[in-house]
């Protein structure tokens, strides 16, 4: 499944995020809403009318050519995509039902790759069910939005009419809406959007209402999809950078451990670790100049991304450990000289090398992790600045 941008544009922005995040933000802001792809998942329990909804939403009947298969003859067995004829780049994904034998509820989220979709329509029939709760929670966890559709309302109305003497349509519909709202509020949905639908042909009222809401919200839904996708892309870029920097640590560590002259070694170490630190700060775009540029373009303050003294902790610990290693080394050398223990000289060098290597390695690794975590906060800036 393709994301909100076509592959070429996505790669171009990925490169820019790597080399010049400010330029990347400017480019993201220039993307036209019509060019943003929106992948909508139609999900819910088996047989609730998901495929029927896909057809109705696309303005066709279940038995028209090109319609999604429905009913007993056509349970949906794998996610299937349909383009919407009226909205460019809107793709409806007819998903299999959650909790069927082929798609057990506990495996559903991973197997249908729910996280890949931008927006969701949960179709539920008859009652607000445990699987509806599960879906709503998963979608909210991802910071995404959904509409809740109660289908087969005509069945409920018919059943109620047959079983209650004081039946009124208004009261039954109000009770159904109430049930949906209660269920959604329990899972913490802010301003739930609920639509009541009957089989196409019987009542188009709910479907038309849903379409109007969707049309009004479509530009923002697309922008949101783009923002989330771009901030995920940025995290990938950061993680790649982090891995590249971490792969280089061993070379710094070997070099630092290999310089045997005491004073020179301390000097080389400090210079080495400082230049590595500077390289990572610039690499993660956390230097003062990059931050100022970013703040100027995005108009989002970058205060929480600034380098603070806590980031220097691993380096200070490093310096102390290095001094201790050298003191230990000198002491061993003196003991060996005074007592004539020549065997000490045999293992002194390898021990000092190993200690020195390990301290440099750990200090640089901790520093890279701390800087990468700081840089992760850019994700928030990226999201805010592309609103
Ligand atoms: N009365 C009534 N029947 C409906 C409604 N929506 C769907 N149906 C019928 O319910 C049956 C199942 O509909 P589908 O659209 O195939 O349901 P689905 O959720 O896609 O089913 P799976 O793919 O098996 O999970 C079909 O016979 C539809 O005609 C509705 O709102 N009212
Ligand atoms: Mg289906």
Ligand 1 midpoint to CA 136 (Å): 21
Ligand index nearest the alpha carbon of residue 197: 1
Task: Indicate if ligand 1 lies below 6 Å from the C-beta of 222.
Answer: no
Percentage of the chain beyond pLDDT 90 is 46
Mean pLDDT check: name the lowest of 105-109, 121-125, 296-300.
Answer: 296-300
Ligand 1 midpoint to CA 94 (Å): 12
Dist CA 127 CA 137 (whole Å): 17
Domain parsing of the chain, residue ranges: 32-203, 241-385
- Average of per-residue pLDDT across 144-156: 93
Mean pLDDT check: name the lowest of 34-48, 175-189, 351-365.
Answer: 351-365
Ligand 2 midpoint to CA 7 (Å): 29
Report residue 126: phi and psi, to 5°. Answer: 70, -65
Which of 41, 42, 43, 52 has the most ligand 1 atoms within 8 A of CB, as the residue to mutate? 52
Whose Cα sits closest to atom 9 in ligand 1? 49
pLDDT category of residue 139 using cuts at 50, 70 and 90: very high
- Average of per-residue pLDDT across 263-267: 65
Dist CA 97 CA 102 (whole Å): 9
Report residue 353: phi and psi, to 5°. Answer: -60, -50
pLDDT category of residue 358 using cuts at 50, 70 and 90: confident
pTM flag (> 0.85) = no
Q: Counting Cβ atoms within 10 Å, is residue 84 exposed (0-12), middle (13-18) or buried (19+)?
A: middle
Q: And the tokens for 66?
A: 């090109």
Report the pLDDT value the prediction gives residue 260, as an integer from 0 to 100. Answer: 59
Say if residues 4 and 222 touch (Cβ distance below 8 Å).
yes
> Which helix (DSSP H) or strand (DSSP E) does residue 168 occupy?
none
Report the pLDDT value the prediction gives residue 341, as an integer from 0 to 100. Answer: 62
Task: Indicate if ligand 1 lies below 6 Å from the C-beta of 360.
Answer: no
Task: Indicate if ligand 1 lies below 6 Å from the C-beta of 69.
Answer: no
- What are the b/e assignments for 340-370, b being 16+ CB within 10 Å? eeeebeeebeeebeebbbebbbbbbebbbeb
Superfamily of domain 32-203, CATH level 4:
P-loop containing nucleotide triphosphate hydrolases (3.40.50.300)
* Better-predicted residue by pLDDT, 312 or 295: 295
Dist CA 63 CA 312 (whole Å): 68
Ligand 1 midpoint to CA 48 (Å): 5
Q: Which atom of ligand 1 is nearest to the CA of 45?
A: 25
- In DSSP notation, 183-196 reads HHHHTT-SS--EEE
Percentage of the chain beyond pLDDT 70 is 87
Which of 49, 129, 200 has the most ligand 1 atoms within 8 A of CB, as the residue to mutate? 49
Task: Indicate if ligand 1 lies below 6 Å from the C-beta of 256.
Answer: no
For residue 382, give every residue at least 6 positions away whose Cβ sits within 8 Å of its Cβ, in sequence order, or none: 21, 25, 28, 227, 230, 231, 234
Task: Indicate if ligand 1 lies below 6 Å from the C-beta of 70.
Answer: yes
* Better-predicted residue by pLDDT, 242 or 274: 242
Task: Indicate if ligand 1 lies below 6 Å from the C-beta of 51.
Answer: yes
* Residue 327, CA atoms < 13 Å, CB-side half-sphere: 6
Give the Cα-Cα-Cα angle 7, 115, 381 (nearest 5 degrees): 70
Q: And the tokens for 315?
A: 């380096």
- Average of per-residue pLDDT across 172-178: 92
Which of 43, 44, 47, 103 has the most ligand 1 atoms within 8 A of CB, as the residue to mutate? 47
- Average of per-residue pLDDT across 8-13: 95
pLDDT category of residue 49 using cuts at 50, 70 and 90: very high
pLDDT category of residue 263 using cuts at 50, 70 and 90: low
Dist CA 192 CA 146 (whole Å): 8
Task: Indicate if ligand 1 lies below 6 Å from the C-beta of 189.
Answer: no
């Amino acid at each position: 499944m393709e994301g909100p941008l076509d592959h070429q544009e996505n790669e171009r922005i990925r490169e820019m995020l790597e080399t010049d995040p400010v330029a990347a933000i400017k480019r993201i802001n220039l993307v036209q809403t019509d060019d943003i792809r929106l992948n909508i998942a139609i999900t819910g329990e088996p047989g609730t009318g998901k495929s029927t909804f896909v057809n109705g939403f696309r303005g066709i009947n279940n038995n028209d050519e090109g319609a999604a298969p429905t009913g007993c003859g056509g349970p949906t067995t794998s996610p299937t995509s349909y383009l919407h004829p009226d909205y460019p780049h809107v793709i409806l994904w007819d998903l299999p039902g959650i909790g069927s034998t082929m798609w057990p509820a506990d495996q559903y989220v991973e197997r249908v790759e729910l996280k890949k979709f931008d927006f969701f329509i949960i179709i539920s029939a008859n009652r607000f069910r445990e699987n509806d709760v599960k879906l709503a929670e998963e979608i909210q966890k991802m910071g995404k939005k959904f509409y809740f559709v109660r289908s087969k309302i005509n069945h409920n109305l018919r059943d109620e009419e047959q079983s209650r003497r004081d039946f009124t349509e208004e009261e039954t519909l109000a009770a159904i809406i109430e049930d949906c709202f209660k269920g959604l509020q329990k899972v913490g949905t802010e301003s739930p959007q609920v639509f009541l639908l009957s089989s196409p042909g019987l009542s188009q009222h709910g479907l038309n209402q849903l379409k109007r809401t969707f049309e009004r919200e479509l530009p923002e839904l697309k922008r949101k999809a783009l923002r989330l996708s771009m901030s995920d892309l940025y995290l990938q870029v950061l993680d790649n950078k982090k891995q590249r920097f971490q792969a280089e640590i061993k070379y710094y560590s070997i070099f630092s451990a290999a310089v045997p002259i005491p004073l020179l070694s301390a000097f080389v170490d400090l210079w080495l670790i400082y230049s590595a630190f500077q390289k990572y700060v610039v690499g993660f775009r956390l230097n003062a100049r990059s931050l100022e540029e970013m703040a100027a373009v995005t108009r989002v303050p970058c205060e929480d991304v600034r380098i603070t003294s806590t980031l220097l902790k691993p380096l200070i610990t490093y310096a102390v450990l290095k001094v201790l290693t050298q003191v230990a080394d000198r002491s061993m050398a003196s003991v060996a000289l005074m007592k004539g223990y020549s065997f000490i000289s045999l293992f002194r060098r390898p021990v000092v090398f190993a200690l020195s290597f390990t301290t440099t390695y750990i200090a640089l690794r901790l520093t890279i992790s701390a800087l990468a975590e700081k840089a992760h906060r850019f994700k928030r800036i990226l999201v805010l600045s592309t609103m």
